[in-house]
Structure 1
């Protein structure tokens, strides 16, 4: 089982002007330390308008910076929102490919639909359309990465003419593809498509074992992939509380403080029960009030990688026994020093044995899946658009409104450039 980190970049109020800058700088230090410690991947979410709960709105920017301070750790979108009003699929392909190139092929391409009112309504997306938009956008984004040129697409939600989308990724034909799964039916859908399941399940290793078995059974029996490269893997979140590792259990609890449950509370606030006034509602204050009523919101034994290295090791072994391929561990808000020590202790005292077992497991899994993948590939449905019209081309001035509007800024700029050339030539002639 691989062990990875998961960033939301929560930033509880009160804020001072330097808080967001410091949050990202601390995060870069942590990822650099995680790379040296041996963590498999850093997964970074994308959310919009969810203040305090998540300030990770442009994950590709942070991951690009992290790529230049690390060598081995993989860089995961956990996830990129695919509705075209948020991220047009051509832009998705461009950004994912660019990050893959500058990181020397370390991108994990996690995708999702978005689920909160704040985000869907903020971008005027009808929730009834989000699954269809994800499906179309994923296919278009992958085709943009692999086709030269992309031959065009016309669907229910996306329409795009032929263009050669550049650059192309380092991992050919594309980085590993994942989809966010919060329900068992979503895990089944991921298996049917032959892509990785980012299974955000908080139920613990017991029920997770059944979900893992279900994923691989569905993959074997019903997968009809269209994505060129299969990614039969299932990932889960390691509990609903933040990671905090210290020399003793008592020290870990002290450093965790009350922040451990803020992630779960934020989900409830923004996705289920909360009413939010932008720029006004104090989410952290509401969380503290809830913790006063029920202290178990902030901590409960066995609900996260919290404690001494021995305690955390045993916690993770439970997940390893479930058969899950990868575990992601949450990070506590405003706990940089504690997080840095947690990462160091994990690297020295916990990760080595898991890394050694995972290497053997990956080899055994590849051998076990060989005949299954052969069956799945036989059911493949090619991902392809229309034939490219070799006579097609584009050019000239952009026009609109029935040809009555012409974008004239470029001709004006070119006229200015030409005039500059004439004047420069004249000056040179006069100086002779």
Structure 2
């Protein structure tokens, strides 16, 4: 089993401005690289008022120069917000300066406040997503000048530069939940990002869909194609468990509030609210929680349903918990390798 990070800088209560939170987060990622975490997937969010990371590609470019081996991913870049050709140029630049370490995670978006702020009709999200990814892939693979007159974007006589280092292009990671979206990602040869709130049984079911679709399409089922995000609540003793749970629930409730359109009622439903489960039961079921022994057991439960790649989301633990996990949990999984193909179930 391999481990990466998921998340991004955010302005905490202890910070008077954004610069401190970004500096702390950058130090966190540099230390993760030293501790041999496999990857970082940065979120992209807008208009929250909480200082959440918005310019993930820009930050990845900076981190590329500070790190040596950790893969640099977007988790996810929301395609409806971006000009696809400009995004293709920016992402290829990250791949270039990192010497081929970009993992390009993409999604359609789910937060109502973002659609509202950008004045984008949510009903057009899928069409925008489909047109955008086709244009990005063309930008990365077409050597000659080309033109495009689409529904949402138009270009005339363009040749997109630079080209990425990874050929034919950086790995595409898709955030997926429904059976249809999971199977679509598998059939297209894409990798998959699974959310941090679903329980282990649900995660296993989605992995089964992915592997079954690979089998039906004759696509090799390899390790590291599916990354599952989990909240990390690692503690030295279980007396600290309740405090950690309450802290996580408070953070999730705050995120849910920022996803609403300004001026709407607090109890108004949030599109994608299942991705922001603020129940104690949900936290108990979906996090890597407890002492090192408890966390190892929880990770082994995930391994039993086919998980071999876990992204840790820990906005409050800091360097101390990162090092604690690397010292007391990661060695239990050090003998597992990526060398052999996996059986498609």
For the aligned pair, the TM-score class normalised by the smaller chain equals 0.7 to 0.9
Per-residue CA deviation, residues 73-110 of structure 1 (Å, 9 max, x unaligned), is: 11110011112xx2111111111111111112111000
Structure 2 contact 201–305 (Cα < 8 Å) conserved:
yes
Task: Describe how 1:199-210 pairs up with structure 2 within 5 A.
Answer: 199-200=194-195, 202-210=197-205
Task: Describe how 1:59-74 pairs up with structure 2 within 5 A.
Answer: 59-74=56-71
Indicate how the Cα distance of structure 1 residues 154 and 262 shifts in structure 2: closer, same or farther if over 3 A, else same: farther
Are 1:157 and 2:157 an aligned pair? no
1:143 corresponds to? 138
Task: Pick which of 105-114 and 261-270 moved more.
Answer: 261-270
Shift of 1:249: 3.1
1:363 corresponds to? 339
Name stretches of at least 5 consecutive residues in structure 2 with no aligned partner: 267-277
Indicate how the Cα distance of structure 1 residues 74 and 190 shifts in structure 2: closer, same or farther if over 3 A, else same: same
RMSD: 3.0
Structure 1 contact 81–111 (Cα < 8 Å) conserved:
yes
Indicate how the Cα distance of structure 1 residues 152 and 82 shifts in structure 2: closer, same or farther if over 3 A, else same: same
Task: Pick which of 307-316 and 135-144 moved more.
Answer: 307-316
Are 1:90 and 2:85 an aligned pair? yes
1:44 corresponds to? 42
Structure 1 contact 253–306 (Cα < 8 Å) conserved:
no
Structure 1 contact 179–195 (Cα < 8 Å) conserved:
yes
1:237 corresponds to? 229
Structure 1 contact 182–201 (Cα < 8 Å) conserved:
no
1:319 corresponds to which of 302, 323, 326 = 302
2:4 corresponds to? 4
1:57 corresponds to? 54
Task: Give aligned pairs, total.
Answer: 333
Indicate how the Cα distance of structure 1 residues 21 and 207 shifts in structure 2: closer, same or farther if over 3 A, else same: same
Q: Secondary structure at the match of 1:203?
A: coil
Shift of 1:308: 2.1
Are 1:221 and 2:216 an aligned pair? yes
Structure 1 contact 176–231 (Cα < 8 Å) conserved:
no
Indicate how the Cα distance of structure 1 residues 51 and 181 shifts in structure 2: closer, same or farther if over 3 A, else same: farther
Rounded to whole Å, the distance in 1 between the matches of 2:127 and 2:254 is 27
1:276 corresponds to which of 262, 281, 300 = 262
1:119 corresponds to? 114
Rounded to whole Å, the distance in 2 between the matches of 1:161 and 1:91 is 14
Higher-Rg structure is 1
Per-residue CA deviation, residues 5-34 of structure 1 (Å, 9 max, x unaligned), is: 11143435x686x43111111101111111
Structure 2 contact 223–341 (Cα < 8 Å) conserved:
no
Rounded to whole Å, the distance in 2 between the matches of 1:130 and 1:2 is 33
Are 1:101 and 2:96 an aligned pair? yes
Are 1:249 and 2:234 an aligned pair? no
1:170 corresponds to which of 146, 150, 165 = 165
Rounded to whole Å, the distance in 1 between the matches of 2:251 and 2:178 is 18
Rounded to whole Å, the distance in 1 between the matches of 2:145 and 2:295 is 48
Task: Describe how 1:256-267 pairs up with structure 2 within 5 A.
Answer: 256=244, 258-266=246-254
Rounded to whole Å, the distance in 2 between the matches of 1:24 and 1:299 is 29
1:196 corresponds to which of 191, 204, 211 = 191
Structure 2 contact 198–286 (Cα < 8 Å) conserved:
no
2:105 corresponds to? 110
Structure 2 contact 94–102 (Cα < 8 Å) conserved:
yes
TM-score normalised by structure 2 residue count: 0.86
Indicate how the Cα distance of structure 1 residues 339 and 298 shifts in structure 2: closer, same or farther if over 3 A, else same: farther
Name stretches of at least 5 consecutive residues in structure 1 with no aligned partner: 225-229, 283-294, 373-432
Rounded to whole Å, the distance in 2 between the matches of 1:355 and 1:175 is 26
Structure 2 contact 49–258 (Cα < 8 Å) conserved:
no
Structure 1 contact 81–114 (Cα < 8 Å) conserved:
yes
Structure 1 contact 111–180 (Cα < 8 Å) conserved:
yes
